[in-house]
Amino acid sequence: MKLLRFTHWFIYLMLAGLAMVLVVMYYPKGPGGDGEEEQPYVAEAEQPPVPVVLDEFGLPAEGFRVERAVVGPRQTLSHILGGLGFSAREIDHIAREMQDVFNPRRIRRGQSYHAYYPVPSGDSPGHFVYEISDLDFLKLSFGDSLLVSRQQREVRLESRSASGVIRSSLWNALMESDLHPELALHMARVLAWSVDFHRLEAGDRFKVLFSERYVGERRIGVEAVNAVYFINRGREVEGFRFESDTLRGYYDGQGNNLRKVFLRAPIEFGARISSRYSHSRRHPIHGDRRPHLGTDYAAPHGTPILAVGDGRVTRASYTRGNGNYVRIRHNAVYETQYLHMSRFAEGIRPGARVSQGDVIGYVGSTGLATGPHVCFRFWKNGQQVDHLRLDFPSGDPLPDEYMEEFLRQSNEMRSALDVVPWPDDPRLSYQGKP
């Protein structure tokens, strides 16, 4: 009996095992499977967040309705914010919070401001931006608390080249070529010792490589002149910018320093010579003939007057004839004097040290003068001389260890200048010859 029962169980287990084998063979993926190999489970990857596009003030370009306006005549911060719906108490709080970053009294007529209203139904601004300048702006953000910050737009530098022909002035030549007027100041500083920009002639011409600053698509100024070629009265002058860890300056093609001991004129730009050095000139007030041992530079009232060289102020005073004047001793050989100033620059007094290019005063017509100008006088070994006839020595030349790198860079810049066409005749080469 026990043997029979054991036999039955054995047969049962054998049949069950056979059934399982048949099921696996018939359904490789189990009942309902499609016969394909089962893939392991993989968690769905997180999608990267959609980047928020910001405008030029660092605020979201979407999600706001932006209203732009300009400050009107006699408008104040109170007028502007009041017109945007802020209460007097809120405006007072905003003005107090602004004081550390921007004085609200300095809001100027004609400057732009922007109010950001949340869409679709924002009744009051979420942000307010006031443009202090082309570069700086004030940003107010309203939420649980007021956030006030003064920031700057992102500036992009762009390399440019240009050429021009002098017909009346360097300024007009730049305007004719749609160039930023600041380029004139940079060119005048580079060539201040080599070219007298107060004695340009019609037909003088130039080529220049420079870098310009942009905010978005709007240019806001010139960063630096990198190379310049100028033909003045038939004389060719070139200058190349070179920088290292220890020096920075402009040099000619042979590495000679363009900087000289003295500037050629005490006014950087925008003046004209109205009277030259002479031993016999009719005096504009007295009417008689007498020596005029200086050079008059006529310029608008308030134009900065520059020290033409390093030195020490020996006089900063007033006389009936000279008006407000400054006298500077540069060394044992040279002295200069600047007459008819409207006022002295801050810190200009006897004993003060000045460097070449420092502002020492401003053009006026004090003393015996018929109009705003500076009478510039020059002494050499105690004798007044015509500075326009002097050839001043240059500063230190480029050290020998930098010459190889300088020549490589200057040759590249000269090649770049060579392909810049002249505005009136593209066939002219870099040397200005047909």
14 has pLDDT over 80:
no
pLDDT of the residue at 218? 84
Question: φ, ψ for residue 11 (rounded to 5)?
Answer: -65, -40
Neighbours of 131 (CB within 10 A): 20
Give the span between the Cα atoms of 273 and 350, in whole angstroms.
28
Q: What is the pLDDT of residues 125-171, one digit of tens each?
A: 999 999 999 889 999 999 888 999 999 988 899 999 999 999 888 88
Question: What is the pLDDT confidence band of residue 6, given thresholds at 50, 70 and 90?
Answer: very low
Question: Nearest CA to 163 among 342, 397, 426?
Answer: 426
Least confident of 83-87, 167-171, 231-235, 412-416: 167-171
155-260+394-434 and 272-389: same fold? no
Question: What is the pLDDT confidence band of residue 279, given thresholds at 50, 70 and 90?
Answer: low
298 has pLDDT over 60:
yes
Least confident of 12-26, 58-72, 231-245, 380-394: 12-26
Secondary-structure class of domain 64-152 per CATH = alpha beta
Give the span between the Cα atoms of 388 and 265, in whole angstroms.
9
Give the span between the Cα atoms of 131 and 267, in whole angstroms.
32
Start-to-end CA distance of the chain, whole Å, equals 129
The CATH number of 272-389, from 3.30.365.10, 2.120.10.30, 2.70.70.10, 1.10.10.60, is 2.70.70.10
Strands (E), 153-247: 156-165, 205-215, 218-232, 235-243
Contact 148, 97 (CB under 8 A): yes
Cis, bond preceding 120 (omega within 30 deg of 0) = yes
pLDDT of the residue at 319? 94
Q: Give the tokens for residue 158.
A: 């762009």
Domain boundaries, the chain: 64-152, 155-260+394-434, 272-389
Q: What is the pLDDT of residues 207-245, one digit of tens each?
A: 999 999 998 888 889 999 999 999 998 999 999 999 988
Classify domain 155-260+394-434 at the CATH topology level.
Answer: Nuclear Transport Factor 2; Chain: A, (3.10.450)
Which residue's entry shows tokens 């030549």?
Answer: 173
Question: What is the pLDDT confidence band of residue 4, given thresholds at 50, 70 and 90?
Answer: very low
Which residue's entry shows tokens 């017109």?
Answer: 83
Q: What is the pLDDT of residues 92-109, one digit of tens each?
A: 999 999 999 999 999 999
261 has pLDDT over 80:
yes
pTM over 0.85: no
